Amino acid sequence: MGVSRIASEVAVFARSTYFQYVALFQWASVRGYVAYKILLPVDQMLFFVELGAYATGPENAAYFALGNALQLTANAGIFGVIATVANERHFGTLPILLGSPANRLVTFMSRAVVNVLDGIVTVIIGFAIAIGLFGLDLHHANIPLLALCVVVVSLSTAGLGLMFGSIGLVMRDAIIVANVIYYVMLVLCGVNFPVSRLPGAVQLISYSLPLTRGVEAAREAVAGASFGQVAGLLGGELLVGLAWALAGYALFATLEGWARRGGMQEAY
Amino acid sequence: MAMSAQAIEARALRKTYDSTRGVFRREKVTRVALRGVDLAIERGELFGLLGPNGAGKTTMVKIFTTLLLPTSGAATVLGLDVVKDEWALRRRIGFVFGGERGLYWRLSGLDNLRYFADLYRVPPEVSRRRIPELLERLGLAGRERDRVELYSRGMKQRLHLARGLLNDPEVLFLDEPTIGLDPVGARELRVIVRELADAGKTIFLTTHYMFEADAICDRIAVIKAGEIVAEGTPRSIKTLVEDQGVVEFEVVGLPRERLDELRGLPGVSSVAVAEHELAQLVTVHCARPSEVMTQLSAALDGLKLEKLSSREPTLEDAYVQLIGDAET
């Protein structure tokens, strides 16, 4: 494949990603973006930071603010990816997509890419809120490492989103799954309290989910840790995300065949 | 199974859907959508599949377009097996479902076509030329940068057709493309479909509008409960009822027992009743219409018959007869 052909494929990929984002997300407008990406995060952070500060003392507000800011990646990575398939079903475009000769892996990837970028932007908004409203102090933080943590967490949560987004091929109300996962992560991933407080068996679940190691690494980065000190956590976080993404792709391929046997892509 | 290089071919095509019902005692339910359909469509033909709702029309389109796997039997399009050769086939066919869904309403018509062109692997240099041509041909030029949510139903349907033509398909499947369109919009779409067939494309059209099939199709088949009950040109289908006539009249307050009396008259093959404003419009398919008209007064004594008339059978009459026959 020549360079021009690759450039053409990349251009098509980028354009498809953009169209998909604008076509499928109601927050792809200024008003929608403010509502979904600013007001909702502020609400969530206010709730958990105020609750946490009330229960454990105001000096811990930054702890809750940081955890909840990172949890916002799940908003894009999980809700975003699952909503992609759910919205295709809603618009009636899923049969057209599945009846097209489009490369499934490329289509699958383009769904994740836009949500990874979206997740990064969302976390930046979350950090701005955490710093401005809840006193998150980044003076001692290793900022490049914190930025890397945000990218890694966005990638890994999108991996989990791909897994559950595949279910939308055969399930009409896949967005319910997104809600369940979102709240499970709030409890299990060390966002509002350390994972070590959970029972041993539940900790296994925590570490099989994305976000858990990423949150730990980000807390270390805020405290000024070096890359070497958190490399294991970040590597683990990436591997967990990759495992979920691969499982998601396998599930997508399986369910596409299943939908073809049962005609379920039309079962809106 | 070796099959000839027809544009579209089906042999003993069968499709069943399994589902379960009940909460505590789950019961498996199997619904048969296609009961061993045989069909062969030549290249360049405009073929119409007629049938009532639930007859199996959409199931057949979905199988031919690789969206659905048959339970048994074989289906090929352009000589390619719809089960095994789906990737090669998808590049060479187009399909359009009726209705307003299936488009990205927040995108402009132009962006919809660009996106679908990417999905269909149309090279960018080709789509840059083809998209404006399709917009022009389908009367959407000038509105292509408007969001689809601002389009009329007819414009959306024309955009659907443009989308179906993006990859310049050799075979185009149209599943009830004029459903819900106003008469002018539906006629415009029919003209375009006929032009596409005249330009050499093979078109498989499903509809339950008889006049539509009569007006534009080269050949038609009638499907009822998953079985083809008639196949041929519109003219040959009409000959199935050429020894029949049709008597129509309006009446108010026709009791069910009198309707049964009507059905028992000599020469009457079927009676259909449709509510028409405050009256009932009765259509009687029969041999020797003039004799039936004289017997009507006796059979419906005491009721006031209005607009009593007889006419030659149409394709719709043949369809009603076929569907009625299939029910008994």
Compute CA B190 distance to the chain's CA centroid, rounded to the nearest angstrom: 13
- A87 interface with B at CB cutoff 8 Å: no
Structure tokens that stand for B208 in this block: 């339950």
Q: Are A201 and A195 in contact (CB under 8 A)?
A: no
Question: Within this chain, do residues B90 and B64 fall inside the same structural domain, yes or no?
Answer: yes
Min Cα distance B289 → chain A (Å) is 46
B119 closest CB neighbour out of A22, A28, A102: A102
- A102 interface with B at CB cutoff 8 Å: yes
> Which CATH number belongs to the domain containing residue B89 in this structure?
3.40.50.300
Last residue of a domain, one of B195, B219, B237: B237
Q: Are A202 and A184 in contact (CB under 8 A)?
A: no
Res B4: pLDDT: 53
ipTM surpasses cut 0.90: no
Question: Within this chain, do residues B90 and B174 fall inside the same structural domain, yes or no?
Answer: yes
Question: Within this chain, do residues B308 and B270 fall inside the same structural domain, yes or no?
Answer: yes
Question: Within this chain, do residues B287 and B219 fall inside the same structural domain, yes or no?
Answer: no
Q: Is the pLDDT of residue B135 over 90?
A: yes
- A100 interface with B at CB cutoff 8 Å: yes
Do residue B99 and residue A92 have CB atoms under 8 angstroms apart? yes
Do residue A97 and residue B95 have CB atoms under 8 angstroms apart? no
Res A268: pLDDT: 36
Q: Is the pLDDT of residue B214 over 70?
A: yes
Compute CA B185 distance to the chain's CA centroid, rounded to the nearest angstrom: 17
Quickly state the pLDDT bin for B147 (edges 50, 70, 90): very high
- For residue A22, list chain B residues with Cβ-Cβ distance below 8 A: 106-107, 111
Residue of B nearest to A15 (CA): B115
- For residue B105, list chain A residues with Cβ-Cβ distance below 8 A: 91
- For residue A263, list chain B residues with Cβ-Cβ distance below 8 A: 17, 59, 62, 67-68
Res B328: pLDDT: 35
Question: Within this chain, do residues B78 and B180 fall inside the same structural domain, yes or no?
Answer: yes
Question: Within this chain, do residues B179 and B281 fall inside the same structural domain, yes or no?
Answer: no
- For residue B157, list chain A residues with Cβ-Cβ distance below 8 A: none
Do residue A12 and residue B124 have CB atoms under 8 angstroms apart? yes
User: Which value, to the nearest 10 degrees, does the dihedral of the CA atoms of residues A70, A72, A74, A78 take?
Assistant: -160
B120 closest CB neighbour out of A20, A23, A100: A100
Q: Is the pLDDT of residue B230 over 80?
A: yes
Non-local CB neighbours of B305 within 8 Å, separated by 6+ positions:
B249, B250, B251, B296, B297
Residues 241-260 (A) with a CB less than 8 A from some CB of B: 260
B121 closest CB neighbour out of A22, A102, A266: A102
Per the domain annotation, does B324 fall within a domain? no
Min Cα distance B249 → chain A (Å) is 42
Do residue A96 and residue B116 have CB atoms under 8 angstroms apart? yes
Other beta carbons within 10 angstroms of residue A11's beta carbon come to 12
Q: What is the pLDDT of residues A77-97, one digit of tens each?
A: 888 888 877 788 888 888 888
Q: Is the pLDDT of residue B242 over 80?
A: no
Please give the residue range of the domain that contains residue A156.
3-266
B124 closest CB neighbour out of A8, A102, A260: A8
The pLDDT of B155-170, averaged and rounded, is 92
- For residue B124, list chain A residues with Cβ-Cβ distance below 8 A: 8, 11-12
Place of tokens 């994740």: A112
What is the distance between the alpha carbons of residues B216 and B230, in angstroms, rounded to a whole number? 18
Q: Is the pLDDT of residue B53 over 50?
A: yes
Last residue of a domain, one of B216, B237, B258: B237
Res B327: pLDDT: 42
Per the domain annotation, does B162 fall within a domain? yes
Nearest to B160 by CA among B68, B67, B94: B94
> Which CATH number belongs to the domain containing residue B281 in this structure?
3.30.70.100
Number of folded domains in chain B?
A: 2
Quickly state the pLDDT bin for B326 (edges 50, 70, 90): very low
Do residue B67 and residue A28 have CB atoms under 8 angstroms apart? no
In Å, how far are B83, B89, B119 from A103, measured between CA atoms?
18, 14, 8
- For residue A23, list chain B residues with Cβ-Cβ distance below 8 A: 104, 106-107, 111, 115
Q: What is the pLDDT of residues A100-149, one digit of tens each?
A: 888 877 777 787 788 888 888 888 888 888 888 888 888 888 999 999 99
Question: Between B202 and A86, whose confidence is greater?
Answer: B202
Considering chain B, what is the average pLDDT of its residues? 87
Res A267: pLDDT: 47
Do residue A262 and residue B17 have CB atoms under 8 angstroms apart? yes
Q: What is the pLDDT of residues B281-320, one digit of tens each?
A: 888 888 878 888 888 777 777 788 888 888 877 788 788 7
- Which of the residues in chain A have pLDDT under 50? 267-268
Per the domain annotation, does B323 fall within a domain? no
Question: Within this chain, do residues B253 and B178 fall inside the same structural domain, yes or no?
Answer: no
A260 closest CB neighbour out of B18, B68, B101: B68
Per the domain annotation, does B88 fall within a domain? yes
Q: Is A104 helix (H, G, I), strand (E, B) or coil?
A: helix
Last residue of a domain, one of B185, B212, B237: B237
Do residue B103 and residue A20 have CB atoms under 8 angstroms apart? no
Residue of B nearest to A90 (CA): B101
Per the domain annotation, does B208 fall within a domain? yes
Q: Is the pLDDT of residue B158 over 80?
A: yes
The rounded percent of chain B whose pLDDT value lies above 90 is 43
Min Cα distance A94 → chain B (Å) is 8
Quickly state the pLDDT bin for B206 (edges 50, 70, 90): very high
Do residue B118 and residue A102 have CB atoms under 8 angstroms apart? yes
Per the domain annotation, does B282 fall within a domain? yes
Most A CBs within 10 Å, among B61, B92, B119, to test the A interface: B119
Structure tokens that stand for B279 in this block: 């009256």
Q: Nearest 5°: phi and psi at B95?
A: -145, 150
Res B151: pLDDT: 93
Rounded to the nearest 10 degrees, what angle do helices B153-164 and B124-137 cross at? 140
Min Cα distance A108 → chain B (Å) is 12
Question: Between B19 and B17, whose confidence is greater?
Answer: B17
Please give the residue range of the domain that contains residue B165.
8-237
Rg of the Cα atoms in chain A: 19
B120 closest CB neighbour out of A19, A101, A266: A101
Question: Within this chain, do residues B282 and B232 fall inside the same structural domain, yes or no?
Answer: no
Res B5: pLDDT: 65
Min Cα distance B272 → chain A (Å) is 34
Per the domain annotation, does B3 fall within a domain? no
- A60 interface with B at CB cutoff 8 Å: no
Q: Is the pLDDT of residue B6 over 50?
A: yes
Number of folded domains in chain A?
A: 1
Res A125: pLDDT: 86
Question: Within this chain, do residues B189 and B53 fall inside the same structural domain, yes or no?
Answer: yes
